[in-house]
């Protein structure tokens, strides 16, 4: 295992990102492309038996060739493959994010919201549909939370295609399994497109419960998480059926089933504040009622009856009334009384009326 150095006079190793059964993964910089970040995967060389080393090399070579011909936004891209000093290396796209297994650990096993799980599962179905549509179809065979990356923009990426294989490949159907996530047929090397569907159901179970599914058992997430709806619970159980003929036939069929869920699939981080804090909101309302009571709130909704408005013209005295006295003509108007006269150029025929200031309709006080 290298911890530092430069490979092919191009890739400068920066740090170790992780280690697995097949080798070590490094964060590196591509010096030919302005130090762009990339991932360098190194095949381990400490196998005890030559056949084990050859088997690992076959997987490594298969991963490089498989990724080289796959072009999909949810599949990590490969850019280079080489050997140096007897070691084998694979250069891939760097995904700035974390895998779902690590994210769950940081959540201390707290299940994800069902709508988020369904949203991710739809994306995975689209990737599987793409893989299974290749000629011949590509079986992923290792779908599990640790192989699903979520980048900083929320995009999902599948990584680690080391045991992916073509359905019609002539090489051996190697029995490589992940306990809880691999279907029964994969234990004897008989993986099909429906094997990936089983693994997706197992992954959904993990995300909905925070627990790994039991190996070789059809699991129902609702048994551990009562917030899971009946429809999604049934989808997971069907995906994980031990009978391959009882599962969804294709990833597209499963995707359509997920799309027909009767709720909006909001991301977990944009769920409404009120929904997350409904108990707190109700508590504040209750406290407010204790202090101010119901009466002010009820009264705020009451409306005063409308009072009749008297037309001022109905009580005003006309200029020809005997009791009327025009102050401008030396008369005395009654104290605290006034009249409003509507003037209009069409009504200025009374010689006792004063000329209007404007030919527009208006109001004049007397």
Q: Name the residues annotated as catalytic.
A: 142
Q: What φ, ψ does residue 48 adopt, rounded to 5°?
A: -75, -35
Q: How far is CA 107 from the centre of its chain?
A: 17
Long-range pairs for 354-363: beta carbons < 8 A, 24 or more residues apart: 354/328
Q: How far is the C-alpha of 204 from the C-alpha of 341, rounded, in Å?
A: 82
Strand partners, 6: 12
DSSP string, 105-164: HHTTTPPPPHHHHHHHHHHHHHHHHHHHTSSSPEE----SGGGEEEETTS-EEE---TT-
What is the rounded distance in angstroms from the CA atom of residue 103 to the CA atom of residue 135? 35
Percent helix / strand / coil, the chain, rounded to 5? 40, 15, 45
């Amino acid at each position: 295992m290298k911890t530092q150095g430069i490979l092919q006079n191009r890739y400068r190793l920066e740090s170790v990102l992780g280690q697995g059964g097949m080798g070590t993964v490094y964060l590196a910089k591509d010096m030919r492309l302005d130090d762009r970040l990339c991932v360098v995967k190194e095949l381990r060389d400490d196998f005890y038996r030559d056949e084990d080393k050859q088997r690992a090399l076959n997987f490594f070579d298969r991963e490089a060739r498989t990724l080289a011909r796959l072009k999909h936004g949810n599949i990590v891209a490969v850019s280079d493959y080489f050997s140096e000093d007897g070691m084998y290396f694979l250069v891939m796209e760097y995904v700035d994010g974390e895998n779902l297994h690590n994210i769950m650990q940081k959540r201390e096993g707290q299940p994800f919201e069902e709508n988020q799980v369904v949203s991710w599962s739809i994306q995975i179905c689209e990737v599987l549909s793409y893989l299974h549509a290749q000629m011949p179809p590509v079986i992923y065979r290792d779908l599990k939370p640790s192989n699903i990356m979520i980048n900083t923009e929320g995009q999902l990426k599948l990584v680690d295609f080391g045991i992916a294989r073509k359905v019609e490949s002539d090489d051996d159907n190697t029995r490589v399994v992940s306990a809880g996530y691999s279907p029964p047929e994969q234990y004897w090397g008989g993986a099909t497109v429906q094997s990936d569907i089983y693994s997706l159901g197992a992954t959904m179970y993990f995300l909905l419960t925070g627990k790994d599914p039991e190996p070789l058992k059809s699991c129902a997430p609702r048994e551990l998480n009562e917030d899971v709806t009946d429809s999604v619970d049934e989808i997971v159980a069907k995906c994980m059926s031990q009978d391959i003929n009882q599962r969804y036939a294709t990833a597209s069929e499963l995707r359509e089933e997920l799309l027909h869920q009767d709720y909006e699939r909001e991301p977990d981080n944009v769920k409404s504040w009120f929904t997350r804090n409904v108990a707190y909101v109700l508590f504040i309302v209750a406290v407010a009622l204790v202090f101010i009571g119901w009466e002010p709130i009820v009264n705020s909704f009451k409306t005063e009856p409308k009072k009749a408005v008297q037309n001022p013209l109905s009580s005003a005295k006309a200029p020809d009334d005997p009791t009327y006295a025009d102050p401008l003509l030396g008369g005395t108007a009654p104290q605290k009384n006034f009249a409003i006269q509507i003037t209009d150029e069409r009504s200025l025929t009374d010689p006792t009326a004063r000329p209007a200031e404007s030919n527009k309709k208006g109001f004049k006080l007397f």
